[in-house]
Amino acid sequence: LVQTSDGGYALAGWTESFAAEKDDFWLVKTDPQGEKEWSRTFGGWDSDAGLSLVQTSDGGFALAGWTHSFGAAGVQAWLVKAKARYEPRYELSTPAEPAKGGSVFLDPPGGVYEGGENVTATASPASGYEFDRWTDDVPPDEENEKSVTITMDSNKELTARFTEAGGGLPLPWIGLGVAVIIGIIIALIVKTRT
């Protein structure tokens, strides 16, 4: 923890959050009241941890720690130079309902985006399914579009709903068919009794 030149604070450590599968360096910048302004992770495919930091003369930060992701096998020392300011990052989750019904492709890929970044989500139905609609944080009047573009200004969820292709007759028609069959059976019973 260091106090920064603007009166706020910067903290270094590690986290397994934010879609990472292993620990990453974690840098958090707060205002003078301790409210988070932004955070940033640094790391690779394996575990990495930030242990200390200093503010540099250009207002940025230098983080020291260790890495399993870079260098020779085993633990290596790692120094990261960070900028003085980062825009907030937001996560976009894109589940499919049902899960076997299809998937969602993102452009750009990744799932974590800078604030204000535009992301296009495209629904891709699996074999035997068709795209039905988007739910949750879908833009107005675009819930039936196979591809939608959203602006990342907060964490968002965009659920692609799929239905089985050629799922048979709609329920009202099935009900009507059952009623007709029952009517025929009753008519036959009445006719045979008379």
- pLDDT for residue 106: 93
No. of helices (H) and no. of strands (E), the chain: 1, 15
What tens digit of pLDDT does each residue of 136-152 get?
A: 999 889 999 999 999 99
In this prediction, residues 17-30 reach a mean pLDDT of: 77
Is residue 18's pLDDT more than 60? no
Give, in order, the Cα–Cα distances in Å from 103 to each of 14, 63, 121. 31, 38, 10
Beta strands 36-42 and 48-55 are unpaired
Query: Considering the chain, what is the average pLDDT of its residues?
Result: 85
pTM for this structure?
A: 0.51
- The residue ranking higher by pLDDT, 140 or 30, is 30
What tens digit of pLDDT does each residue of 48-61 get?
A: 888 999 999 999 99
Is residue 21's pLDDT more than 70? no
What tens digit of pLDDT does each residue of 54-85 get?
A: 999 999 999 998 888 887 777 888 888 988 87
Q: CA 168 from chain center: how many Å?
A: 33
